[in-house]
Amino acid sequence: MQVCSYVSRRCCNWLEGVFTESHLIGYYCCVTSQDLPAYGTPDRTVSDLFRTPLGQQLPALVFVGASIAITSYRIRHQRDLLAIVSIVLGANLLYAILDILLTGIGWSISTWMHGPEQTAYTSLERRVYGIALHAGL
Kindly report, residue by residue over 101-113, the tens digit of the pLDDT: 888 888 888 888 8
Specify the pLDDT at position 4: 52
Rounded distance, CA 39 to CA 59, Å? 23
Specify the pLDDT at position 43: 80
Specify the pLDDT at position 17: 74
| Domain total in the chain | 1
b/e 89-117 (16+ beta carbons within 10 angstroms → b): eeebeebeeebeebbeebbebbeeeeeee
For 61, residues 6+ apart whose C-beta sits below 8 A from its C-beta are: none
User: 68-82, 90-104, 122-136 — which is least confidently predicted?
Assistant: 68-82
Specify the pLDDT at position 2: 54
Which H or E run contains 48?
helix 42-51
Could you list the residue range(s) of the whole structural domain that residue 127 is in? 2-136
CA gyration radius for the chain? 18
pTM reported for the whole predicted model: 0.69
The percentage of residues in the chain with a pLDDT greater than 90, rounded to a whole number, is: 0
Specify the pLDDT at position 12: 66
* Contact indicator for 94, 121 with CB cutoff of 8 Å: no
